[in-house]
Structure 1
Amino acid sequence: MTDPGSVRTPSATRIRRGRTAGALASVGVLLAVSGCSVAGGDPIGEGPGTLRVVLPEEPPTLEPCDASLTATGRVTRANITEALTERDPSTGRLEQALATKWTRNSPTSWTFTLREGVKFHDDSPFTAEAAAFSIKRATDSDIDCNVDGYIFTDSKITAKAVDDTTLEVTTAEPDPILPLRLSFVEIVPTSTDPDSRVREPVGTGPYRIDEWSQGRFLRLKRFSGYWGETPDYAAAKYVWRAEGSVRAAMVTNNEADVAIGLAPEDGAGDRAVEFTTNEVSYLRMDATKAPLDDVRIRRAINYAVDREGLVTAVFSGRPSGQLVSKGVTGYNPRVNPWPYDPKRAKRLVAEARADGVPTGTTITIIGRTGIYPKAAEAMEVVQDGLLKAGLKVKIKMLDVNAWLEYLLRPFPKGIGPTLLQAQHGNQAGDAAFTMGQIYGSKGAQSSYGTPELDALTKQAQLASGDKRQKAFADAFAHQNDEVVRDAVMANMTGILALSSHVRYRPDSATNDEMRLSDMRRADRGRS
């Protein structure tokens, strides 16, 4: 994979919006059409010019600086809002978006040349001033943007407009992958509220928000002033249904065109399309509270999780031992999945109990409904393994909004030891976006860190090329061998259902950003 920290002049690269030309798949014939709704709610009921998408859950927010959250990003990123740069998931290369060129002037300074003739949905011009405003809003405000902790790990960054099409960005410390980080900063006009989240963002993307009926649907409309290629569909309408079988049936009954987050048994039949994702499922342990503060208990939990059983009987994927997938800078092929060894798990718990560790304290699994197919069933399998190991465990399943309170700092108080059902998709392709926010002592999603792991992470973040790969791989090995903060379960396989009316080939980023402009009408005869 191309080192994402390398300095490139992208003017010769192809713009990703054009890559769909060779990446479309026609998917079989339409199954039986029913005139009645299987959705359990309002039917989508739109005309042929509208792409009908059914999601597992309603986006918790459309705030652009929270677009790194999966449920938000799959709707907003590259649809409503855009960034200066974007990573092509098929090649790993960083390409043009709202910036056409970037140059590293010094270890802490970059210059970006911006695309001319771009307008926001409110008809105001896209300028370097808007880019600088968006960067400051996302990284240096009281909004507590997820992108700040996730992408920038609260590091200091300053952006200044030199003229309308030239932007200077400086960092407090050397950052060889700054252009990659900026691919997660969605650009908004200066009229956007700088001090609070917005419900309906204004962007430069190919679609603008038409109507969001809370709890019912979200409709986007094609933006006539878009600077790039005009997408096939005049509009897109999103609805959400929690049951995977319902989502699949909506496609097979021609009530929807695209349904995501499906399981093999959801009944999509010939409409099902499997694809490799960058999502890794895991359990985050709160290692600050007993009995999880004893590394023997954390190791016991890892031995008690039947990963092979989970991917065989519960969800699609392959067992994994680290939070990034192959192809991400820092992936360590020597970090293997923990073996399923219930006897060893039970022995470790008994040893800890004999030394006075309060193994009878109830551990709460904080689960999230719809985080992946059969989410609750997966946690029941985990609970069974931990109970057999001698631990006391209960499950608390939450919707995405309640679950987010446990994902991000500051965490709820007085809840006792917890295991958080979580999933991480490093779509940026560099372990910097995993180690700092998830394993750092002060990471936005971190429940526990160590000075040793912090030092290894910082060393890796300053490196480039092969040295960067090795440094992050060493950090993952240290986490797995010495810290054991997580029980990583599986690198997930995605399944979506696709109508024969639509041609679309999902990629590893589809779960995080589902680009409507990559979806083509089959009746247009485009290839």
Structure 2
Amino acid sequence: MAGSGAARSRPIVTSLVVLLAASGCSVAGADPIGGGPDDLRIVLPEEPPTLEPCDASLTATGRVTRANITEALTERDASTGRLEPALATQWTRTSATSWTFTLRRGVTFHDGSPFTAAAAAFSIARATDSGIDCNVDGYIFADGELTATPVDEDTLRVTTARPDPILPLRLSFVEIVPTSTDPDSRVREPVGTGPYRIDEWNQGRYLRLKRFPGYWGETPDFAAATYVWRAEGSVRAAMVTNDEADVAIGLAPEDGAGDRAVEFATNEVSYLRMDAGKPPLDDIRVRQAVNYAIDREGLTTAVFAGRPSGQLVSKGVTGYNASVRPWPYDPERARKLVAEARADGVRTDTTLTIVGRNGIYPKAAEAMEVVQDGLIKAGLKVRIRMLDVNAWLEYLLRPFPAGDTGPTLLQAQHGNQAGDAAFTMGQIYGSEGAQSSYGTAEFDALIERAERASGGNRQKAFAEAFSHQNDKVVRDAVLANMTGLLALSPKVRYRPDSATNDEMRLADMRRAD
């Protein structure tokens, strides 16, 4: 619950403070954030790998761009789950495969050009039918074919090859850009309709946004926002407590935010994606052993904040299956399964590589060390390779690295902010999914059936698919539904919600004075 972390105690950081005082350096490092009282100062765990709008479904990108720089036709209210108007004011399903959207009038892009149905159609085509390989295409639309056609300046018709009962929800992930945007390659500094525009991106140091005076909606409290990034959570927390930043995200309880800490529920689920097509992970007994060998209670008690989970979506998402429980910690069962596989000729002595990502969540490397220890005790050989976000993305997204990388367990995290399992299943578990390393024909059929269903049948079909993955496929070792922790300075009022990790809306941050 938001605010419940405020009473947490603050660990001693005396040696750090003394060292910094002696050296004359700021806690922030070489580039402390400037700005006046109307500027927000935000410190992130990592620099966005890209600001390309059609990659805004990536957490590190979306938390900066979505609803700040760019906007979509629709948006989901994270607190209620309802789909709300954004750049579209209403939408109607006119046939099994066609929707009509009425667009908001009087909206202007940051470059001064008007928002029209032509821009909306262009943006949809650029995100879903171009050679850019947009993350949103594989994540949100998978193999779905759609055509967007302007009816007039304020009306858009979108048709799909097959019936799609949640198309307006899918379009909440398509960020709208002007027709002057390069249609064939990624852009470094996008132009949008949001309340803020890019002022300066000094790559590797900081990113500054300024309030857009021509914004169609309510004027945000803060005139500008400057983002910097620091890998260490304790440094991010200290920047807030020392009045060097106003907002710090991705913290752990022991990072020392003290009474500036705010705890909140997230939709993020941490997991390990297994290369189930490569030996020894191609043997389901070994994949089961991996799951039994992980102490999830220990991880969420001693390493990071969260609660053990057995599936990639959290409660409240259509398709969540309450009967799919976290795998129990059973090291003896893990050892027996590995021994059985070895006795049948499975090469269990092949080294598994945990491919981790620095800063994916607090104490990411420490979490993988706990996992490694459990797998080694189960009789497996395991090494850890921690990567920064850009190198890690090569393993997350197709096409995966060429050559024989050996069997890997990819440290990953999934946040289904859209509230429907369609945004999880196809891209992560489908045989051709953008983030999938393994699938089966039977599982694909279950996913497809669920995606075509509606109402109660949709919930039932997706719940069955999650059960099938847990019992018959075991492609993942799901770890925990994560709890978020951020720090706020006294000058900012902000209530984080389950979508905060994916889209941190600057307009929701208010001046406290």
Tell me the TM-score range normalised by the shorter chain: over 0.9
- Displacement of 1:403 in angstroms is 0.1
Match of 2:280 among 277, 280, 291: 291
Give the distance between the partners of 2:215 and 2:243, measured in 1 at CA: 30
Matched, 1:200 2:189: yes
User: Is contact 2:3–2:264 with CA below 8 Å preserved after alignment?
Assistant: no
Q: Given the two structures, how large is their TM-score scaled by the length of structure 2?
A: 0.96
Please list, as runs of the form range in 1=range in 2, the aligned pairs for 1:281-430 lying within 5 A after superposition: 281-413=270-402, 414-430=404-420
Asked if residue 443 in structure 1 is aligned to residue 433 in structure 2, the reply is yes
Structure 1 residue 456 and structure 2 residue 446: aligned?
yes
Give 4+ residue runs of structure 1 displaced > 3 Å after superposition.
31-36
Partner SS state of residue 497, structure 1: strand
Which residue type is aligned with residue 301 of structure 1? V
Aligned match for 2:137, one of 148, 151, 155: 148
Matched AA of 1:371: I
Q: How does 1:124-139 map to 2 (within 5 A)?
A: 124-139=113-128
Offset, 1:37: 1.6
Structure 1, gaps ≥5 residues long: 1-22
Q: 1:297-332 deviations in whole A, cap 9, x for unaligned? A: 000000001000000000000000000000000000
Residue of structure 2 in register with 1:180 after alignment: 169
Q: Secondary structure at the match of 1:340?
A: coil
TM-score normalized by the length of structure 1: 0.93
2:96 to 99, 107, 120: 107
How many residues are matched?
A: 499
Match of 1:225 in 2: 214
CA distance in 2, matches of 1:106, 1:290: 48
2:265 to 273, 276, 280: 276
- Matched with 1:248 is 237
Distance 1:61 1:415, change over 3 A: same
- Residue identity matched to 1:442: E
For residues 383 and 493 of structure 2, the distance between their equivalents in structure 1, rounded to whole angstroms, comes to: 44
- Counterpart of 2:505? 515
What is the CA–CA distance in structure 1 between the aligned matches of 2:420 and 2:144, rounded to whole Å?
17
Q: Which residue of 2 aligns with 1:502?
A: 492
Q: Which stretches in structure 2 are left out of the alignment for 5+ residues? A: none
Of residues 477, 488, 496, the one that matches 1:487 is: 477
**Which of 463, 482, 493 is residue 473 of structure 1 equivalent to?**
463
Superposed displacement of residue 154, structure 1: 2.8
Q: Are 1:24 and 1:504, in contact at CA under 8 Å, matched by a contact in 2?
A: no
Are 2:89 and 2:103, in contact at CA under 8 Å, matched by a contact in 1? yes
Paired residue for 2:53?
A: 64
Determine the C-alpha separation between the residues in 2 that align with 1:194 and 1:290.
41
Per-residue CA deviation, residues 416-441 of structure 1 (Å, 9 max, x unaligned), is 10000000000000000000000000
**Matched letter for residue 512 of structure 1:** D
2:48 and 2:96 mapped to 1: Cα distance?
38
Partner SS for 1:72: helix
SS of equivalent to 1:134 = helix
User: One-letter code of the match for 1:92?
Assistant: G
After TM superposition, the structure 1 stretch with the greater mean CA deviation from structure 2, 65-74 or 38-47, is: 38-47
1:14-29 correspondence runs (5 A): none
CA distance in 2, matches of 1:231, 1:394: 47
Contact kept, 8 Å, 1:24 with 1:503, in 2: the verdict is: no
Give the Å deviation of 1:46.
1.1
Q: In structure 2, the residue corresponding to 1:477 is in which secondary structure?
A: helix
Q: Is the 8 A contact 2:3 2:261 kept in 1?
A: no
> Residues of 2 paired with 1:40 and 1:299: CA distance?
44
**Could you tell me whether the CA contact under 8 Å between 2:3 and 2:263 is conserved in 1?**
no
